[in-house]
Amino acid sequence: MLIGIPAILSPELLKVLCEMGHTDELTIGDGNFPGHTYGQKVIRMDGHGVAEILAAILQVFPLDTYEEHPVTLMAVVPGDKVETPIWEQYKEIVAKYDDRGAGCFEEIDKWKFYEKTKEKSSVVIMTSEKALYANIILKKGVVV
């Protein structure tokens, strides 16, 4: 055990986060996200939701300050009648760790999100999140 590290962050995940460098990305997927299809590496965190994992990761993981939008959300497919209140939770969590708050976020098309995950994410963290469109990509910043 370590002092100051959120208990939800497993040794396997901590190792991956530590090995990631500036501009590397990670994806946190909801329960429906096809992580094993698009992830180069997948870490399962069953029983946990995206918001609690996001909050824990941001305690040890800086967001890229050189990038205007270091946080990416999967945009709702046009015509889909899904609400995304979980995004407000994400914005509140990010605001605790980054002064840009909601300004950090961008939304991209579902298929571009999948492609970005496949091409750029060092890891996909799979959760049991039931909220729809709850997937999020983080771009790592510099530790100073």
Catalytic residue IDs: 22, 64, 114
How far, in Å, CA of 14 to CA of 140, rounded? 14
How far, in Å, CA of 23 to CA of 54, rounded? 17
How far, in Å, CA of 42 to CA of 45, rounded? 10
In the β-sheet with 121-126, what is the strand arrangement from edge to edge?
42-44, 121-126, 25-29, 136-139, 71-74, 105-108
- Which residue type does 140 have? K
